[in-house]
């Protein structure tokens, strides 16, 4: 591989104007396509084959008018303490608000609370359901505010909630991107001491991410994509494009500093660091595409979109950077910043810097280091034993949020369970639907945690019945989950007793239970798939059995500690005030499997970047322990800068206000910090010291079977030393 990438680097360097023109054309065409074809994003918890989805499909088929709409908003009115909404002046302004709500764009209907009876028993709180004809209406909140302004002016409290408000992307998303880029720029400037060198990864990332997001917007016209999908792709694309570019730029500057010409240095940078980038990117792509095995459409499209962003980060790093090298010439190694000297992050500094002292300490005392790291990571992982999954509802939002205040008013006026009702659907084909529904309602009413069961409603065809069950507790409460399980446990005997075809439960609590179960069943297969494929890739890179095994064990330590910190912050409420986190009491259901996929890939990134330099030294004749120290010295500054950049990018998104993005960004930032600094830069050198030559052992029969990918650029060195050109089959690079 090194020889092919060497040729690619030389070609892009020499044909830099052509390469830049192609990439700019792709960016412009992508943006034009996005402007013309971009569709709406839509969040969906589709779980094919689960009871909750089948019950919802039956409900939509037999009760199309009663099926809950995904495009609805709830406007809640509350009278001041000591007064009621039945007072004439209050009724007038509510009627006026309902009329204005009905005239809003895309609204197909509004329920007047006094006509449909959605007024609390004490008469102080009422709500109106606003139905939309489109999945995700634009400017929903501002339109609702304007339509109900007269009610607010009259002294009523008016708050809004509902699914129609969930699809809005946080307004400060671009500000968060800018913060992440700003911190990344500062780290790059300090690392390189040059504006030219620091600017290349940033420009590269902006072009790559801009193209990626534009193409994802085009794809949204043809595929159902969730609101979080482009945000996740932006996070990963931005962080990895900068990181991958950083490694290649650093190696290029190092090669220039050794006296190579521009084309030679570009080719060598791609043949060595570029090879590591390819395999690191492939590992992340495998982990993300592996989300397909979970069988949840939302996770599949999220994984594919993020994998596409990673592929674009690799592609633009391998092609655009050599073109930039050609434009910059030797200015890339010049010092242009007052107070900072131009740095070669991979150079021998001539003095015992921090990297040398740290690696010497780790390799001198490997056993205490290994034990200390394991104990610290195990202690951080302890809170993970209390991990509780769910989908935080509006009750988990900040008290300043109108959706949270609407949620609290509904709970106050109608009971906590009103925010998460259960729907029981009886398929009564061949029997009396009303009688079957009545029997089911009577049985459900005897269960624990039931506040109310509505009388069953039969459909016009008489072959199905529907009843609503209001739990005493809210939708995310353990008691509500227990109630769903209890109804399902009685379904078999209810079918036998009533002659119905089926009795099924749906509603958000039921959907979340099925969601958790589906992921729990898919997780072992997912872990086995990405571990096996990534293990094979790492064996190709390192020509070793123990190094990939050690990488996988280090990943398990990282994940355990990361989940422990996530539980402590998002469930237990530690550091909430400092981090501006609203305590939810829940970790979002699909966070574990998404986090495992992303962190596995990113952890292997740092494994590849750090350990390839150590193996490179070993392959070229160094003894095992000196190879670890020298490889650490060459790679640690770049890996440190890359980790800080990635932590900064993810950390900026941790303040998005979106539950999922907030949790996953925070978790990714913690995982990268732990994996890069504790596992890859502390535990790994200590283990390699203990293993010594055994670390690079590979059975001869397996060595013959595995193709040689030459990440270390050994073929390039042999070609330089050879007086005769190496055959085309060996892939020599012209000099």
The top-level CATH class assigned to 2-40+170-391+513-721 is: mainly alpha
pLDDT at position 127 is 93
Sequence ranges of the chain with CATH classification 1.20.1640.10: 2-40+170-391+513-721
Number of separate helices (H) and strands (E) present in the chain? 27, 11
Distance CA 306, CA 254 (A): 31
Class (C level, CATH) for 421-506: alpha beta
> Of 309, 244, 305, whose CA–CA distance to 277 is shortest?
244
- Residue 162 is classified by DSSP as S
SS3 assignment, position 638: helix
Alpha carbon 592 to chain centroid distance? Answer: 10
How far apart CA 253 and CA 349 sit, in angstroms, is: 15
Query: Which DSSP letter does residue 680 get?
Result: I
**Which residues, in sequence order, are bridge partners of residue 504?**
425
CB neighbours (10 Å) of residue 547?
Answer: 24
54, 504 in Cβ contact below 8 A? yes
Euclidean distance between CA atoms 631 and 618, whole angstroms: 9
- Cα 134 to Cα 123: distance, rounded to the nearest angstrom: 32
Which is the CATH superfamily of the domain at 72-165? Multidrug efflux transporter AcrB pore domain like (3.30.70.1320)
Three-class SS of residue 731?
A: coil
Q: Of all helices (H) and strands (E), which one includes residue 457?
A: strand 457-458
Model confidence pLDDT, tens digit, residues 150-201: 999 999 999 998 877 765 555 555 566 677 778 888 888 887 777 888 889 8
Contact 180, 241 (CB under 8 A): no
Write down the pLDDT at residue 347: 57
pLDDT computed for residue 280 by the predictor: 80
Question: Can you read off the two tokens belonging to residue 448?
Answer: 């624990």
**CA pseudo-torsion sign 34, 39, 40, 45:** negative
Backbone angles phi, psi at 430, to 5 degrees: 90, 5
Query: Would you say the C-alpha torsion 250, 255, 259, 260 has a positive or negative sign?
Result: negative
* CB-based contact 223:301 (threshold 8 Å): yes
3-state secondary structure 72-134: EEEEEEECCCCCCCCCHHHHHHHHHHHHHHHCCCCEEEECCHHHHCCECCCCCEEEEEEEECC
User: Cβ(84)–Cβ(122) under 8 Å?
Assistant: yes
pLDDT 10s digits, 538-575? 788 788 888 888 888 888 899 999 999 999 988 887 87
| Whole-angstrom distance, CA of residue 424 vs CA of residue 421 | 10
Report d(CA 694, CA 387) in Å as an integer. Answer: 38
The secondary element (H helix, E strand) that includes residue 201 is helix 195-219
Q: Angle at the Cα of 493 (from 488 to 496), degrees rounded to 5? A: 130
Cα 503 from Cα 428, distance rounded (Å): 9
Low-confidence ranges of the chain (pLDDT < 70): 39-46, 65-70, 135-136, 166-177, 334-353, 392, 576-585, 655-660, 710-735
Q: What is the number of residues in the chain? A: 735
Distance (Å) of CA 314 to CA 232, 553, 585, 733: 17, 26, 38, 21
- Secondary structure (3-state) at 13: helix
Q: Which of 41, 32, 31 is nearest to 211 (CA)?
A: 31
Q: Which residue has the tokens 């001198």?
A: 364
Cβ neighbours of residue 730 under 8 Å, at least 6 residues apart? 3, 715, 719
DSSP letter string over 476-488?
TSHHHHHHHHHHH
Q: Would you say 612 and 712 are in contact if contact means Cβ atoms under 8 Å apart?
A: yes
Cα 242 to chain centroid, rounded: 18
Of 291, 268, 282, which Cα lies nearest the Cα of 313? 282
Residue intervals of the chain classified under CATH 3.30.70.1320 are: 72-165
Other Cβ atoms closer than 10 A to 672: 30
Q: What is the DSSP letter of 588?
A: E
Contact in structure between 191 and 263 (CB atoms under 8 Å) = no
Q: What is the pTM of this model?
A: 0.78
Specify the DSSP element, H or E, that contains 425.
strand 422-427
Cβ(37)–Cβ(219) below 8 Å: no
Q: Say how far apart CA 229 and CA 227 lie, in whole Å.
A: 6
pLDDT at 187: 83
Write the CB contacts of 406 (distance below 8 Å, at least 6 apart in sequence): 74, 75, 76, 127, 159, 160, 161, 394
Q: Tokens representing 59?
A: 């409900």
pLDDT given for residue 460 in this prediction: 87
**DSSP element (H, E) containing 502:** strand 502-506
Helix (H, G, I), strand (E, B) or coil at 471: strand
């Amino acid at each position: 591989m090194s020889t092919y990438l060497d040729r690619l680097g030389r070609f892009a360097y020499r044909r830099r104007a052509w390469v830049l023109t192609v990439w700019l054309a792709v960016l412009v065409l992508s943006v034009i396509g996005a402007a013309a074809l971009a569709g709406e994003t839509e969040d969906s918890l589709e779980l094919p084959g689960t009871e909750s989805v089948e019950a919802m499909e039956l409900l939509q088929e037999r009760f199309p008018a009663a099926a809950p709409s995904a495009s609805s908003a709830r406007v809640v009115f509350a009278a001041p303490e000591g007064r009621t909404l039945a007072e004439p002046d209050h009724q007038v302004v509510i009627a006026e608000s309902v009329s204005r709500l009905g005239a809003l764009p895309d609204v197909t209907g509004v329920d007047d609370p006094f006509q449909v009876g959605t007024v609390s028993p004490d008469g102080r709180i009422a709500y109106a359901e606003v139905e939309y004809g489109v999945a995700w209406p634009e400017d929903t909140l501002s339109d609702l505010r304007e339509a109900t302004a007269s009610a607010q002016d009259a002294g009523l409290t008016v708050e809004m909630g509902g699914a129609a408000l969930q699809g809005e992307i946080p307004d400060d998303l671009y500000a968060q991107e800018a913060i992440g880029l700003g911190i990344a720029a500062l780290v790059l400037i300090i690392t390189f001491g040059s504006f030219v060198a620091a600017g290349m990864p940033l420009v590269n990332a902006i072009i790559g991410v801009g193209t990626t997001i534009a193409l994802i917007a085009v794809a949204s016209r043809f595929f159902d994509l969730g609101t979080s999908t482009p945000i996740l792709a932006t996070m990963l694309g931005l962080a990895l494009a900068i990181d991958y570019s950083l490694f290649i730029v650093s190696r290029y500057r190092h090669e220039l500093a050794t006296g190579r010409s521009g084309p030679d240095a570009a080719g060598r940078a791609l043949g060595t660091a570029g090879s590591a980038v390819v395999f690191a990117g492939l590992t992340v792509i495998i982990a993300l595409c592996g989300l397909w095995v979970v069988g949840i459409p939302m996770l599949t499209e999220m994984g594919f979109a993020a994998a596409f962003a990673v592929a674009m980060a690799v592609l633009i790093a391998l092609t655009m950077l050599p073109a930039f090298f050609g434009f910059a010439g030797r200015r890339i190694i010049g010092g242009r910043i007052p107070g900072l000297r131009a740095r070669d992050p991979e150079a021998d500094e001539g003095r015992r810097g921090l990297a040398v002292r740290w690696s010497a300490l780790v390799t001198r005392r490997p056993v205490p280091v290994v034990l200390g790291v394991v104990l610290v990571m195990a202690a951080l992982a302890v809170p993970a034993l209390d991990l509780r999954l769910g989908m935080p509802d509006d009750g988990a939002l900040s008290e300043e949020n109108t959706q949270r205040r609407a949620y609290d008013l509904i709970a106050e006026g109608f009971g906590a369970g009103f925010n998460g009702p259960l729907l029981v659907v009886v398929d009564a084909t061949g029997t009396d639907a009303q009688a079957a529904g009545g029997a089911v309602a009577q049985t459900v009413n005897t269960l624990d945690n039931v506040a109310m069961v509505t009388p069953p409603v039969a459909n016009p065809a008489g072959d199905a019945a529907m009843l609503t069950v209001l739990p005493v507790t809210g939708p995310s409460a353990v008691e509500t989950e227990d109630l769903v399980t209890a109804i399902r446990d009685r379904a078999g005997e209810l079918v036998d007793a009533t002659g119905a075809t089926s009795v099924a439960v749906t509603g958000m609590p039921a959907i979340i239970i099925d969601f958790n179960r589906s992921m729990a069943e898919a997780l072992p297969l997912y872990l086995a798939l990405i571990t096996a494929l990534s293990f094979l890739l790492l064996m190709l890179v390192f020509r070793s059995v123990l190094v990939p095994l050690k990488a996988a064990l280090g990943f398990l330590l990282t994940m355990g500690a990361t989940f422990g910190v996530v539980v402590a912050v998002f469930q237990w409420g530690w550091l909430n005030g400092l981090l501006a986190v609203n305590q939810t009491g829940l970790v979002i259901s699909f966070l574990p499997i998404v986090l495992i996929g992303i962190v596995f890939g990113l952890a292997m990134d740092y494994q590849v970047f750090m350990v390839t330099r150590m193996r490179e030294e070993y392959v070229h004749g160094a003894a095992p322990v000196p190879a670890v120290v020298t490889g650490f010295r060459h790679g640690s500054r770049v890996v440190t800068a890359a980790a800080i950049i990635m932590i900064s990018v993810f950390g900026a998104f941790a303040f998005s206000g979106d539950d999922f993005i907030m949790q996953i960004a925070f978790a990714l930032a913690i995982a990268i910090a732990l994996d890069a600094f504790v596992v890859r830069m502390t535990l790994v050198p200590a283990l390699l010291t203990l293993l010594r030559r055994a670390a690079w052992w590979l059975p001869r029969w397996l060595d013959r079977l595995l193709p040689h990918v030459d990440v270390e650029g050994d073929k390039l060195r042999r070609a330089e030393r050879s007086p005769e050109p190496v055959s085309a089959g060996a892939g020599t690079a012209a000099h």
